[in-house]
Chains A and B, each alone.
Chain A
Amino acid sequence: DTEVTQTPKHLVMGMTNKKSLKCEQHMGHRAMYWYKQKAKKPPELMFVYSYEKLSINESVPSRFSPECPNSSLLNLHLHALQPEDSALYLCASSQISGRLDEQFFGPGTRLTVL
């Protein structure tokens, strides 16, 4: 199984809502990532988890809260988002970060904040 799955595929939320994005992989990867991507732009790294511990937070606003409940699951909790947070959110996984292994990406969640 070389797949990273993400749910939901699309999400529309208001600025006062709380929602969560979910990412799952069963490749035994111990590094997992969240990226944010605006249209026609490259992905921007948000968070990196290594061995279920947060290792990189790229100064992301606290309205985004990541969680890694186990080695296969990665969540991104959303609260009080702004319209400018509308984007494609990509999850990825790889062998432990620090090695030169490719990252496998999920299909993404298209988020619209009204």
Chain B
Amino acid sequence: AQKITQTQPGMFVQEKEAVTLDCTYDTSDPSYGLFWYKQPSSGEMIFLIYQGSYDQQNATEGRYSLNFQKARKSANLVISASQLGDSAMYFCAMREIQAGTALIFGKGTTLSVSS
């Protein structure tokens, strides 16, 4: 079974609009972390935001926020006020502490921002 599921292969949004990229996860480990990375066409993986399983508040980093719904096992990334430079592949990833796993990545969502 897939541990990280990103159901949107591609998303399209206009500049200045908000967009939500979906991510659901599957784990029985009580201690885990959820990460979002951005990968432009240049190839570098850029860390965006992190949410720990015990965090009470949703994480925010500038225009990025993570909508963490633990009971539903979802960790959606919200990008507010999209910019052309946001066009990239976005990966959701998870690390489990007790299982000792390294990062497990979802298949990614390609975001295209148009003017």
B19 to chain A, nearest CB (A): 20
- Which bucket holds chain A's interface residue count? 20 to 34
* A103–B95 alpha-carbon span in the complex (Å): 11
- Of the residues A42, A45, A88, A99, contact of B91 by C-beta under 8 Å: A42
- Of the residues A90, A100, A103, A106, contact of B52 by C-beta under 8 Å: A100
A68 to chain B, nearest CB (A): 16
Stretch at the interface among B20-28, B62-70, B103-111: B103-111
* A100–B55 alpha-carbon span in the complex (Å): 12
Contact with B along A72-114 (1 / 0, CB 8 A): 0000000000000000101010000111101111111010000
Query: Once the chains bind, are A42 and B33 in contact (CB under 8 Å)?
Result: no
Query: Once the chains bind, are A41 and B107 in contact (CB under 8 Å)?
Result: yes
The answer to whether A45 and B95 touch (CB under 8 A), given A88-B43, A107-B43, is: no
| B33, B45, B46, B100, most chain A CB atoms within 10 A | B45
At the interface, yes or no: B18 with Cβ under 8 Å from chain A?
no
- Which bucket holds chain B's interface residue count? 20 to 34
A-side contacts of B107, CB under 8 Å: 41-42
- Of the residues A42, A100, A107, contact of B105 by C-beta under 8 Å: A42
A-side contacts of B47, CB under 8 Å: 102-105
Query: Once the chains bind, are A33 and B102 in contact (CB under 8 Å)?
Result: yes
A-side contacts of B95, CB under 8 Å: 100
* A97–B33 alpha-carbon span in the complex (Å): 12
Query: Once the chains bind, are B97 and A100 in contact (CB under 8 Å)?
Result: yes
At the interface, yes or no: A21 with Cβ under 8 Å from chain B?
no
